[in-house]
Chains A and B, each alone.
Chain A
C-alpha cells in the first residue's frame, strides 16, 4: 500500500517571503512523486515531478522540490511567493516503473495563502 501525507493543512505567508510545503510518502516499492496546484474552481495543474536523476527538481512558476529517499520526503519550496500563488497544493505518488494504470495517490492538500 502507498500513502502520501502532507504535514500542513494550511500555510499562511507574507508576499515575497519564502515558503516550504511538506510532503512525506510511504511505499513498499519505488515511487515517482508529483506536486500539483489547484486554483479555485479549476482542475489540477502539474508543478513538477520527480522520476529519477537529480534529487532537486525545478518546476513552473519558480517552484522546486527536493526528493529525499532516506527521509521519504518530497518538500516543495519557493524562495519568494506572490499573491497569485494562493491556491491548494497537492503532493502525489505512483508506483515507479512499468505501468501505473493511471493511479495517483494524493495527499490531503495544503492551502497556501499569501498575504500582502
Chain B
C-alpha cells in the first residue's frame, strides 16, 4: 500500500498570504490528523477529521482551518500567514479514531514564511 502523501513538500510564502496544504491518507484510512512541528514548540496537534467532520481541534488560532473530502483526502489552510507559521506540517492517517490506533505519518510539508 502507498503511504501517506503530502503536497507540496516545500513552500515559500510571504507574510499576509494564505496557503493550502494537501494530504492523501493511506487507502482505506478515514481519520486524518494534522500536526505542526517547530524547533521551539515541538510537535503540536492542530486538528483531526473523520468522515469529513472535524472531531477534534488543538489550541491554534482560527487562521488555521481544514477540511476533509469524501475520499478522505484532507487539506489544511492557513490564512494571513505570520513569520511564526514557518514549520513542518505533518499529516497522519489511521483507520479509525480509536485510542491506541497507530497513526501513520507523511513526510510533511515544510513551510517558510518570509
Cβ-based interface call for B83 (8 A):
no
Query: Which one of A41, A46, A97, A102 lies within 8 Å of B48 (CB-CB)?
Result: A102
Q: A96-B100, A97-B99, A102-B47 are in contact. List 7 more A-B contacts (CB 8 A).
A: A49-B100, A94-B99, A99-B98, A102-B50, A102-B55, A102-B56, A102-B97
In the complex with contacts A43-B108, A101-B48, A96-B99 CB distance below 8 A: yes
Q: Which residue of A lies closest to B107 (CB)?
A: A43
Interface size, chain A (Cβ < 8 Å): 28
Q: Are B94 and A43 in contact (CB under 8 A)?
A: no
Closest CB of chain A to B17's CB: distance in Å?
24
Residues of B with Cβ closer than 8 Å to A?
Answer: 4, 31-33, 35, 42-45, 47-48, 50, 55-56, 58, 90, 92, 94, 97-108
Total CB contacts across the A-B interface at under 8 A:
79
Closest CB of chain B to A39's CB: distance in Å?
10
A94–B90 CA distance with the chains assembled, in angstroms? 18
A7–B35 CA distance with the chains assembled, in angstroms? 22
Closest CB of chain A to B65's CB: distance in Å?
16
> Counting chain A CB atoms within 10 Å of each CB, which of B43, B44, B58, B107 scores highest?
B43
Q: Are B105 and A43 in contact (CB under 8 A)?
A: yes
Q: Which residues of B contact A106 (CB under 8 A)?
A: 35, 42-44
Cβ-based interface call for A24 (8 A):
no
A85-101 CB contacts (< 8 Å) to partner B: 90, 92, 94-101
Cβ-based interface call for A63 (8 A):
no
A47-69 CB contacts (< 8 Å) to partner B: 49, 51
Residues of A with Cβ closer than 8 Å to B?
Answer: 32, 36, 41-46, 49, 51, 90, 92, 94-109
A91–B47 CA distance with the chains assembled, in angstroms? 19
Query: Which one of A44, A96, A101 lies within 8 Å of B90 (CB-CB)?
Result: A44
A-B CB contact pairs (8 Å), 21 listed: A32-B99, A43-B4, A43-B90, A43-B106, A43-B107, A44-B105, A46-B103, A51-B100, A90-B43, A94-B100, A97-B99, A99-B55, A101-B50, A102-B31, A102-B32, A102-B103, A103-B56, A103-B58, A104-B45, A104-B103, A106-B43
